[in-house]
A and B are shown apart, each in its own frame.
Chain A
Amino acid sequence: RSPSRSCHVVTTVFPSALFSFLSVQTFDKILIANRGEIACRVMKTCKKMGIKTVAVHSDVDANAVHVKMADEAVCVGPAPTSKSYLNMDAIMNAIRQTGAQAVHPGYGFLSENKEFAKRLAAEGVSFIGPDTHAIQAMGDKIESKLIAKAAKVNTIPGFDGVVKDADEAVRIANEIGYPVMIKASAGGGGKGMRIAWNDEETREGFRFSSQEAASSFGDDRLLIEKFIDNPRHIEIQVLADKHGNALWLNERECSIQRRNQKVVEEAPSTFLDPETRRAMGEQAVSLAKAVNYSSAGTVEFLVDSRKNFYFLEMNTRLQVEHPITECITGLDLVQQMIRIAKGFPLQHTQAEIPINGWAIESRVYAEDPYKSFGLPSIGRLSQYQEPLNLHNVRVDSGIEEGSDISIYYDPMISKLVTYGATRAEALKKMEDALDNYVIRGVTHNIPLLREIIVHPRFISGDISTKFLPEVYPEGFKGHQLTATGRKELLATAASLFVAAQLRAQKFLGDLRLQERRSWELCVELEKGVHMLGVSRSGATYTVEIDGDKLEVSSDWNLASPLLTVTLNGIHRTLQCLSRNAAGEISLQYLGTTFKLRVLSKLAAALSVHMPEKVPEDTSSILRSPMPGTVVAVSVKAGDTVAEGQEICVIEAMKMQNSMTAAKTAKVRSVHCKPGETVGEGDLLVELE
């Protein structure tokens, strides 16, 4: 694996950080109990520190990047995470078998599992993370809040104990003042959470939340706290050693979220002034000290519009978004974690922790941003090219061209991090990086990322956790073309069409041709039809659209997925996703994919005679809307089903989806069985 994939921002920004890697002896061999990008991320640092690495993997991951990158690899079970990456017995065996002295858990999976930490300790293996006590204390919402309060950390006003019944809930709610939030003590991910604005809603919320909490977590304890309206999510990275020292490594702004999952993060935040930052940092450190925290951890706060901040929770692991902190501080957090786990004291004092420049992270997901800001998609990365040719770009990924994004694991493709001396510089770099990022074979969320980072509200820093639903109340619809943008797109498509036409005439040994110099074309885009004149001089095309002239030049490399053009002197990188003989061209422009059709004037004039195609009658055919597993089939051939009746259930990404009949009819044939995996568009059932 080439070293250029490594954390190149860190090393370019702070070359001095390099020296510290080899200076101390920590462990000889570390097992990484994780997969994907974070496993690769940890291994990169291990390699720099001269530590041997052991990967664990499920059987479908046998060819994964993290397995190839490791010095040794052990298969710990079949694809489902409960049987592999969460299979403690198998992982303990892998540790014994390879003689690893320490385990880095990454994030997710066993990273905050005190049982795992205990079992490691019992066998004398170091857990690269905090000790069991801290994991346990911070893992429980009620306990962590009590500890935080005791450590003089601002907490959300609320009741610190378990609420007994609905009447008590109403009394407490009135004490705190509305709106309040009722949530499960053991909860997470929005489950068992209700917001109430009055007494009645409180009673109702109490009932629902306790039911949900009981069914989801087997624990119906609830707590009530003030609901912070329109908050920002800002978190402080802390680093503590086993000798009672602790540092805060500044903040990360993570307000851009969908369904409580972060999408774009940055460090520092545009919102914090130095006083607030210091106050938050100091409180975070005192919390860490209160639980004898050691290793890297993150204290999450909600911050309201008046810069009041309230403790939310502490994550006792390395966060997904840790790279942006590394970029602005120059520290390698994984290296620090490993050192701390070995018992070394911190190398830095608080005064030595800088904020140097600005870093932005975009989480690139295999998901369709046009469906609720992102529903998972799967597939094989038929083409994949990270924008590492650009300076100050870091890509943390655990996949490569040819990798499968499967239904079994997180659909994250990579974390794309850009760095700049200023926020504007980092944002501009992010635009370039997203434009140059080639991902084919799966649906991805680059269209959404590319729109967020150029949105005026984001640029001005006016964001909150409700940013996405507020900015796109109707759901994300992709980039909306401006008049100039439309012309740029049309001109590029027309020029590309002409370049392809000209090349189609270039045969070896053929001396006959006199190349054409001008074309009249008709280009369709978003139901609009445009007549264009194109004339050529060398590799430059002059395109006339509605009286305007655009000069388009490029090297017109028709094999490259990237299409770098100069449009009236402005550089743009587009991507050509597909191009066919019928003149259909798909271009990715400013992140969004646009479908165009370029025809000669003659073909366009004749196309009025072409018959309209009647779409297939889909009411009698039931196809799988997504890849997944068939959980149940409720009908058999010959049955009569009523409109809306359940036909089968497909499970995908842990969600069960009921497929229903679109009309009342007899079932002609059933093409699926329970337990079978199906792809998107696969035929499930046919009706008569």
Chain B
Amino acid sequence: MAALAAVRRCRVLLHGAVKSSFRGSPSQPRSYSAGRLSVQERIERKRQAALVGGGQKRIDAQHGRGKLTARERVALLLDPDSFVEYDAFVEHRCSDFGMEADHNKFPGDSVVTGQGRINGRLVYVFSQDFTVFGGSLSGAHAQKICKIMDQAMLVGAPVIGLNDSGGARIQEGVESLAGYADIFLRNVMASGVVPQISLIMGPCAGGAVYSPALTDFTFMVKDTSYLFITGPDVVKSVTNEDVTQEELGGAKTHTAVSGVAHKAFENDIDALLNLREFFNFLPLSNKDPSPVTECHDPSDRLVPGLDTLVPLESTKAYDMLDVIHSIVDERDFFEIMPNYAKNIVVGFARMNGRTVGIVGNQPKVASGESKAPIRYQHLISKLYYCCLDINSSVKGARFVRFCDAFNVPIITFVDVPGFLPGTAQEYGGIIRHGAKLLYAFAEATVPKITIITRKAYGGAYDVMSSKHLRGDVNYAWPSAEVAVMGAKGAVQIIFRGKNNQADAEAEYVEKFANPFPAAVRGFVDDIVVPSTTRRRICRDLEVLATKKQTNPWKKHANVPL
């Protein structure tokens, strides 16, 4: 009964898809000669075959795994009736191992490609079809993807990849590998030209993982998607580790431990609907300004709660997300990597309708915490709240560079006591990784607005979009403390061996634990009442909308990788 219903539903869907792919072409049979009619029939038959991919049995199996088909996914992702398909007639060209047989040919092969609209805006999409040879990548499959990527770059529109593939088409050998490389090259060429988004909706293993890794954002579906270089069996044979697919490369691993994926969603539908929402934040290309949508939230709204948010004791925590939610339009914040390096918060929001990128230190979270499995978390010192560490620097840097590449203004909320000390960090290369964030902020030419909410100590002060790195507007809240280090440490150095440490500390606090030293030098442009922050930022963004700044000519810069 249920299966029957599924079939019926499927037909309804397919019918819709047929209609859209016929758009602009004659849909009524005409009185052609007998020979041509048979071509017409063949077209019809091929098209129908393309629509059912690997056939009903495999579609049912796909559904049984809790996954949607490639076409169902495209239909959910795009506006109704907006999908225009390319290459539905492309077939693979392999003639070995019996692949040349008719029953091994599927029109369109194992990927659905084309363009369509999300909320009316153009996007190119490929959706790998697991029902055809497990979504494996043939030369033809790669060629289809390359075609839409090339066109996306020509017209300036983002590319979304819905990945669900068992890997290389082994029967094709090197042709399949060549296909991967063709895609990788295009990923690299398109990087910084049009936004590229990957949504992993099934397996993605071996060389295939590098395409998502090269794109700007990688999202995953919980429980049904995996990303790894080698699967659990190979891992067992090489390193003798026992690990499940989920532990090795599931959504939890990549969003919380490895930082490979930027966010995970509950299921296919949840992921696709969220992707639509996410897409609305993005400019279509590097030639487009940051998009501005209709906004109902007054740009001059005061946020009274901010005046009391920062606790009076400077060691006490608060939630930077409270600051962000209350300042941005309609409390709508799309957080990127919410479960990785939680001591820094990054994500997209809007100010008076215009997309902005938000970067903020998170005083609520101890540095280094998110990387450890839950059972080791109690070992981590809670002394170093919201310090910059390796992971947060890399997370922040990549996000800042995306914003800069695509004209998205950056708003930075600073509360940072410094970089995280320790051998683990030094041996891990905090110098090299911390430099990435510094580099990213320094090279960025988009409008940059910085708000120091509390601490801005030491080198971390310089890094966090300071005035010295061409910050356009830098504000301090009255609770701001801009200094080389905290009072205790500073006094121990300045007054080494002297007795009146307490007095010295008080003097230091009086002198430096406030916004004045920075304000009198013009390193912050103003000390603002926290409740007026939204109003100030919205006004500044209007002014900075026409900002033009270029870096010196170079072949490309050499970011410390």
Which residues from chain A sit less than 8 Å from chain B, CB to CB?
Answer: 59, 62-63, 380-384, 400-403, 503-510, 512-513, 557-560, 581-583, 599-600, 602-603, 605-611, 613, 668-671, 683, 686
Contacts and interface: CB of A to CB of B under 8 A. Distances in A.
Given A506-B293, A507-B291, A62 B312 contact: yes
A336 to B, nearest CB: 33
B76 A606 contact: yes
A522 to B, nearest CB: 12
5 contacts: A403-B308, A507-B121, A581-B274, A602-B76, A686-B375
A607 B269 contact: yes
B121 A686 contact: no
A610 B269 contact: yes
Nearest to A607: B269
Contacts of A599: 269
B218 interface: no
Given A381-B305, A602-B76, A508 B292 contact: yes
B377 A671 contact: yes
Interface in B215-264: 223-224
Contacts of A668: 375
Nearest to B307: A402
A402 B304 contact: yes
**Residue of A513, A607, A611 with highest tally of chain B CB at under 10 A:** A611
A63 B293 contact: no
Nearest to A672: B378
A382 B305 contact: yes
Interface in B456-482: none
B171 interface: no
A605 B11 CA distance: 12
B293 A507 contact: yes
Interface residues of B, number: 56
Contacts of B424: none
A56 B356 CA distance: 43
Interface in B293-330: 293-298, 303-309, 312, 322, 325-326, 329-330
Nearest to B325: A382
B188 interface: no
A308 B5 CA distance: 69
A611 B224 contact: yes
Contacts of A62: 312
B77 to A, nearest CB: 11
A524 to B, nearest CB: 13
A503 B293 contact: yes
Given A558-B330, A609-B6, 7 more contacts: A401-B304, A402-B307, A509-B292, A559-B330, A582-B266, A608-B2, A609-B268
Interface in B153-180: none
Contact of B269 (A382, A507, A582): A582
A406 to B, nearest CB: 12
B336 to A, nearest CB: 15
B304 A400 contact: yes
B293 A613 contact: no
Contacts of A381: 305
Nearest to B79: A505
A611 B293 contact: no
Contact of A609 (B66, B293, B312): B66
Interface in B115-134: 119-121
Contacts of A608: 2, 6
Interface string B101-123: 00000000000000000011100
Interface stretch (B67-75, B204-212, B431-439): B67-75
Nearest to B310: A63
Contacts of A559: 295-298, 329-330
Contacts of A669: 375, 378
Contacts of A513: 120
A686 B378 CA distance: 12
B119 A504 contact: yes
Most buried by A among B67, B75, B291, B305: B305
B278 to A, nearest CB: 8
Contacts of B268: 606, 609-610
A646 to B, nearest CB: 21
Nearest to B222: A613
A510 B121 CA distance: 9
Given A559-B329, A602-B75, A611 B274 contact: no
B267 interface: yes
| Most chain B beta-carbon neighbours within 10 Å: one of A583, A603, A671, A683 | A603
Nearest to A668: B375
Contacts of A383: 305
Given A402-B306, A503-B293, A512 B120 contact: yes
Contacts of A510: 120-121
A380 B120 contact: no
A170 B304 CA distance: 62
Contact of B296 (A508, A560, A671): A560
A78 to B, nearest CB: 12
Contacts of A602: 13, 75-76, 80
A358 B511 CA distance: 59
B353 A402 contact: no
A587 B378 CA distance: 39
B9 interface: yes
Nearest to B330: A559
Contacts of B322: 380, 382
B280 interface: yes
A504 B330 contact: no
Contacts of B306: 402
Contacts of A402: 304-309
Contacts of B120: 505, 507, 510, 512-513
B273 interface: yes
B56 to A, nearest CB: 14
B277 interface: yes
B535 interface: no
B270 interface: yes
A505 B279 CA distance: 11
Q: What 6 A-B pairs have minimum CB-CB distances, sorted nearest first?
A: A402-B305, A611-B66, A581-B277, A508-B292, A559-B297, A559-B296
A558 to B, nearest CB: 5
Contact of B294 (A59, A400, A506, A671): A506
B291 A610 contact: no
Contacts of A506: 293-294
A671 B369 CA distance: 14
A683 to B, nearest CB: 7
A236 B172 CA distance: 93
B307 A610 contact: no
A508 B292 CA distance: 5
Nearest to A584: B270
Given A402-B306, A669-B375, A63 B312 contact: yes
A603 B268 CA distance: 10
B23 interface: no
B66 A503 contact: no
A606 B68 contact: yes
Nearest to A514: B120
B224 A557 contact: no
Contacts of B80: 600, 602
A603 B269 contact: yes
B186 interface: no
Contacts of B325: 382
B63 interface: yes
Given A382-B305, A512-B120, A671-B378, A503 B294 contact: yes
A583 to B, nearest CB: 7
A603 B272 CA distance: 10
B374 interface: yes
B276 interface: yes
A299 to B, nearest CB: 40
